[in-house]
Structure 1
């Protein structure tokens, strides 16, 4: 069980976070969960797909590699893309909720927790979380933004998929990648959107998708699929390099 604590500038004044990327920090994964709030950044570099969890609910992922524990976007301690998915940007932090009094009313407010056992946590190296006078340091502000992307995106997930489903857009996809006569990959259990059905939407169905703010999300998902070719090129380059 993770050793988590409510982050504060008294108990954790001297905490630092090692911000570089690396396999030792859990970055060697071939896919990661993502959120609608980051689709516009993700679609430039990654293919976005959908999966179903054990309860049968859809969620979003980006593919980072083809083999188990392979991240083609990770080069040693560098990330070779313009944007890192928020779930990886957040590092050892997560959002919790706490009852707080706001203008005389008790509200459930989001608060940041930290996993003190995470290998990125240090007192000797890395980015400070708090300024000497107690305010949030730039790195913690960055983490807070990543956590907002996750929290707001998680709230959008169900209505977005309900809208896609109501419009009949979601369809299973078979991702078969052949690198040469001897090397072939099949990535199972993926879903995407039907470009043909999206293009054919008219009237109320189209208006409902647009009004919910999900029409743009649909086009971003479809645009991202071109990055499957980028993934193949990166994989071939890695093989050619003998890695």
Structure 2
């Protein structure tokens, strides 16, 4: 598991990092979280389910049926389908919650810090975040805001009692279409008025990609060149939920 440390001038003022050029770091990740704004794009390329952690629901891109494996990355680190989840595009950075406080801090994966001056500096000579790292922080901050909205939306689906375990991967759930179709008019109207239906339907579209996980690494089609580090994957992360 990756070890992250808070980014600060005292520890990283003379440090550098290299922008991601591949996804070998994700080879052992069977699932990662998504936010509502990227679901439309992600649902066209991979199965997306729901998972609950510490009482909160999240969208998850399912990348393998087995823990410790990712069939959407080949051995050379190339992503094999047409969408890369935003959380992976943030590598080697992450926003990490401060225990006991309602805030997050920008962290960097410890193994990605280098003294190699051919890399990107973390900070300017004045001790401010470099322009590129500032872009990273803005990207991850927006993602965190959208994650909160997504959790609220998924709570509505949970309260509608239409979620069932999905055998695709332990701990992952999906919408049961039979339960959805059996909802009384009032219950369905509440879903529509909440604004969650676009998310729900995109999730159902993604279910059809479950078979992708049965293809061995290297056999599926390879997408065009890797996306730019932040942006370029067809999503702006924005998700409007009432």
Normalising by the residue count of structure 2, what TM-score does the alignment of the two structures yield?
0.69
Is the alpha carbon distance of 1:121 and 1:144 closer, same or farther for their aligned partners in structure 2, counting shifts above 3 Å? Answer: farther
Correspondence for 1:198 among 158, 173, 180 = 180
Q: Is the 8 A contact 2:106 2:137 kept in 1?
A: no
In structure 1, runs of 5+ residues without a counterpart are 99-107, 176-186, 239-243
Partner of 1:182: none
Partner of 2:81: 81
Give the aligned CA root-mean-square deviation in angstroms. 3.5
Relative to structure 2, which stretch is displaced further, 225-234 or 121-130? 121-130
- Matching of residue 214 in structure 1 with residue 196 in structure 2: yes
Is the alpha carbon distance of 1:49 and 1:111 closer, same or farther for their aligned partners in structure 2, counting shifts above 3 Å? Answer: closer
Correspondence for 1:144 among 135, 138, 141 = 138
Equivalences for 1:21-100 in 2 at 5 Å? 21-23=22-24, 25-53=25-53, 55-75=54-74, 76-95=76-95
Equivalenced residues, count: 214
Partner of 2:110: 118
Correspondence for 1:169 among 157, 162, 172 = 162
Choose 1 or 2 for highest CA Rg.
Answer: 1
Normalising by the residue count of structure 1, what TM-score does the alignment of the two structures yield?
0.69
* Post-superposition offset of 1:220: 0.9
Q: Is the 8 A contact 2:96 2:107 kept in 1?
A: no
Give CA deviations for 1:87-131 in whole Å, capped at 9, x if unaligned: 222223233689xxxxxxxxx99675233x522233424445567
Is the alpha carbon distance of 1:210 and 1:166 closer, same or farther for their aligned partners in structure 2, counting shifts above 3 Å? Answer: same
In structure 2, runs of 5+ residues without a counterpart are 221-242
Partner of 2:211: 229
CA distance in structure 2 between the partners assigned to 1:14 and 1:236 by the alignment: 36
Is the alpha carbon distance of 1:82 and 1:147 closer, same or farther for their aligned partners in structure 2, counting shifts above 3 Å? Answer: farther
CA distance in structure 2 between the partners assigned to 1:204 and 1:225 by the alignment: 26
Q: Is the 8 A contact 1:130 1:140 kept in 2?
A: no
Is the alpha carbon distance of 1:110 and 1:51 closer, same or farther for their aligned partners in structure 2, counting shifts above 3 Å? Answer: closer
Q: Secondary structure at the match of 1:188?
A: coil
Partner of 2:17: 16
